[in-house]
Amino acid sequence: MHPVGLLGTLELLLAAMAIGCGTISLMGDPPAASSAAALRRMKAARRRDTAPELALRRALHALGWRYRVDIAVLPGSRRRGDIVFSRRKVVVFVDGCFWHSCPLHGTSAKANASFWADKLASNEQRDRDTDRRLADAGWTVIRVWEHEPVEVAVARVSAALASAGS
């Protein structure tokens, strides 16, 4: 932790919130990229409109489902659903295998291993917290892995929408 300690960190967070700063990471600055190729890959990683997300959205739209994209569903939270069916309170997250530690395809970084292990563990923890908070607020949460066949994902989302509408 930073030399200011826990109390100093809390004071910094409160000061940042008071002046309207964006995000503050308690993990510190990320380490430098291990290579130019790694830097290009990280810069190219999209937060939204990924190929699996677009394929799922196209398939749902073709079935007549209408939705909102990249929407904050919890008041006061920056956590955003990839595909949101507001009226039915169904939210879909399309999770990348690396970023969300897929049990089948998730990998461990070799360079800066401790940073990435902490980062991915915090991503998993945030995902579980988001799921819990949304469920407590009456939302149905569907998590789709990027490698999941579109037809399977569409069937899961459609089933949730059908049961939410009845």
If pLDDT is split at 50, 70 and 90, which confidence band does 103 have? confident
Residue 122 clears pLDDT 70, i.e. is over it: yes
Q: Which string of b and e fits 6-40 if b means at least 16 CB within 10 Å?
A: eeeeeeeeeeeeeeeeeeeeeeeeeeeeeeeeeee
If pLDDT is split at 50, 70 and 90, which confidence band does 29 have? confident
Architecture of the domain delimited by 46-165 = 3-Layer(aba) Sandwich (3.40)
Q: Where are the domains of the chain?
A: 46-165
Query: Which pLDDT value is given to residue 99?
Result: 76
Q: What is the pLDDT of residues 129-157, one digit of tens each?
A: 999 999 999 999 999 999 999 999 999 99
The pLDDT mean for the chain works out to: 82
